[in-house]
Structure 1
Amino acid sequence: MGGRLATITVSIAYVALLLIGAFEDRREALADLIGMNDMTFIAALAGLLWLTCLVLPKSGAKAHSDINDVLHPIGKWVSVTALILMVCFILLQVVMRYVFNDAPNWTEEGARFGMLWLVGLMAPIAYRHGGFVAIDMLERALSERLAAILSLLLFAMSFAVLLVMWDKGLNNHVDSLSGRGCSSTLRWPLGFEIGKCGNKFSNYYQYLALWVGVNLLVLVCVELILRQVLKLTGRNAGLPALGDEDVGGAS
C-alpha cells in the first residue's frame, strides 16, 4: 500500500506543478503572494518534490517507474499513429504532385505535425530503455562503482539541460508569439472553429509536442537518477527491471 500511496502522491504533485507552471497567470498570482519570481517559485516547488524523492529514493524510484509504465505505452501508440499519418501524408503529396500535378498544400505541415509528436513521445521511451546511441568506452574501462558514479554524473547533467529546456520551451516557444500563432495550411475538419484561430489549427498544438516530450524526459531522468543512487548504495533490490523488447538498444 505504501508504494501505491507514493505513486499517487508523486502523480498529484506533478499534476499540480503542471497546472500551475504551464500558465503564466497562475504562476505569477501564487508567486506574488510570497514575493518570489514566478519561475523561481515553480523551481522551488519542483525542488521540494525531488528533494523528498532523494530522501526516500526507493519510494521515489518506484513511484516514477509506475508513472512511466502507465504513460509510455500510451505515448508509444500515439507515436505509431503519428508515424502512420506522417507517411500517408507524404505519400499523398508525392502521388498528387507527380501523378495529378495538384498536391494539397496541407500535407507538408501535417507530416511535420506528426513528426513533432512522434519525436516528443518516443524520445522519453528510448532514453529510459537505452535506445539512444551511446559511446560507452570510458564507462566500460572503469570499475563498476566508478562507472556507476560516472553514469550518475551524466544523468545529473542531462537533468540540468532538461530543466533549461522546460523553461525555454514553455516561455520561448509554447507561450510565445509563435506558439500563439495560427497554422497557414492546417484546418479543422467539417468547418469547426476553435479559439481565436477559428477553423485554422493553432501553432500551440505543434509547439506543445516537444514541451510535453521534455516533461516526460524529466520524469524518466528523475527515475534513472534515483535508480542510480539506489544502485550505488546497494538498495536497488526489488525495483522492477528496465527493458522493452520493442525498443532497440544503443550500440
Structure 2
Amino acid sequence: MMVVLRPLAWMNTHVLRLGRRLGAVALALMVIVILTQVFCRYVLNNALAWPDEAARFLMLWLVAFMAPSAMRWGGFVAIDTLPNMLSRVPGLVLHLVLLCCALMVLLIALQHGYAHTFGFGGRFDSSSLRVPLEWFGGEGFKIKLRYMYGALLFCVAMLFVVTVELILRTFMTLISPATELPDTDEFAVAMGAGD
C-alpha cells in the first residue's frame, strides 16, 4: 500500500503547493479588481461592468486552488466530539468510513462538475468578461462560462485525489501504526518554508 501512497503523497504535495501559489495570485488579483471597482464607482462616479464578475471568477478559482490543501490538513469545519471520545482503533475506523462516504459524494460531484464545464451551460459566454485583444490589433472575445465552471471540476477532482490519499493514510495507520507516513507539507507552510 505504501507503494501507492508515497507517489500519490509526493504528487499531492507538489500540485497543492502550486495550487496555493496560484490561489495567492488569484486573491491578490481579486483585491485589485475590487479596489478598481470601488475607485471607479465612488471616485470617478462611473461603475464598470466587468469587475463584479471578474471577482467572482477569481474567487471560484481561489477556492478551487486552496480547498484541497485544507482537506488534506483537516482544515474544514468538523464535529469531532465522537471520534475524540473513541479509542484509537474505533476512531480510525469511523474516520475511514467518513472518508469513504466523502469519496462517494465527490464521485457524484465530479460528474456534475464535468457536465457543467463541458456541457450545455459551459458553451455560453460570460455577460461582461472579455479579452480585449483590440488593444493589440486583434479581435476581442468574451470568456466562456466553462472557464468559470472549470473551477468546480478542478476543485472536486483534487479533493477526490486528496481523499484517496487520506483513506490510504488512515488505513495504513490502522493496520500498521508504526509505519512512517509521507509528509503532508503542513509544517513547511506553517513555518513559511514550503512556499
* TM-score with structure 2 setting the length: 0.90
Summarize deviations over 1:140-173 as a string: whole Å, max 9, x none.
10011000000000100100000000011112x1
Given the alignment of the two structures, is residue 85 of structure 1 paired with residue 29 of structure 2, yes or no? yes
Of 49, 65, 89, which aligns to 1:121? 65
CA distance in structure 2 between the aligned counterparts of 1:72 and 1:158, rounded to whole angstroms: 19
Inter-partner Cα distance in structure 1 for 2:169 and 2:25: 31
Write the distance in 1 (CA, Å) between the matches of 2:97 and 2:68. 19
Asked whether the equivalents of residues 124 and 145 of structure 2 are also in contact (C-alpha less than 8 Å), the reply is: yes
1:66-145 equivalent positions in 2, closer than 5 A: 66-145=10-89
What CA distance in whole angstroms lies between the structure 1 residues aligned with 2:90 and 2:83? Answer: 8
Superposed CA deviations along residues 210-242 of structure 1, whole A, max 9, x for unmatched, are 100111111100000011111111166132233
Change (3 A) 1:100 1:241: same
Match of 1:237 in 2: 179
Greater CA deviation, 97-106 or 158-167? Answer: 97-106
Per the alignment, residue 225 of structure 1 pairs with 167
C-alpha distance after superposition, 1:70-105 (max 9, x if no partner): 101110111001001111111111121111110211
**AA at the equivalent of 1:244:** E
Question: One-letter code of the match for 2:124?
Answer: G
Aligned partners of 1:121, 1:207: CA distance in 2, in Å? 14
- In 1, distance between residues paired with 2:70 and 2:101? 18
Contact 1:58 1:236 in 2 (8 A): no
Segments of structure 2 that go 5 or more residues without pairing to the other structure are 191-195
Do the aligned residues in 1 keep the contact of 2:72 with 2:162 (CA within 8 Å)?
yes
- Paired letter, 1:230: M
- How far apart, CA to CA, are the structure 2 residues paired with 1:112 and 1:240? 36
Higher relative contact order (CA 8 A, sep 6+): 2
Distance 1:200 1:241 in 2: 43
- Report the 3-state secondary structure (helix = DSSP H, G, I; strand = E; otherwise coil) of the residue aligned with 1:104: coil
Conserved 8 A contact 1:227-1:236? no
Number of corresponding residues: 186
Distance in 1 (alpha carbons) for counterparts of 2:109 and 2:44 = 43
Corresponding residue for 1:189?
A: 132
2:23–2:66 contact (8 Å) kept in structure 1 = yes
Q: Which 4+ stretches in 1 moved above 2 angstroms?
A: 189-193
Q: What are the residue-to-residue correspondences of 1:29-48 with 2, within 5 Å?
A: none
Q: 2-side partners of 1:147 and 1:201: how far apart?
A: 47
What is the percentage of aligned positions where both structures have the same residue? 41
Unaligned 5+ segments in structure 1 are: 1-56
Provide the alpha-carbon RMSD of the alignment.
1.5
- Post-superposition shift, 1:200? 0.8
Q: TM-score, normalised by structure 1?
A: 0.71
Q: 1:96 to 1:239 in 2, by over 3 A?
A: same
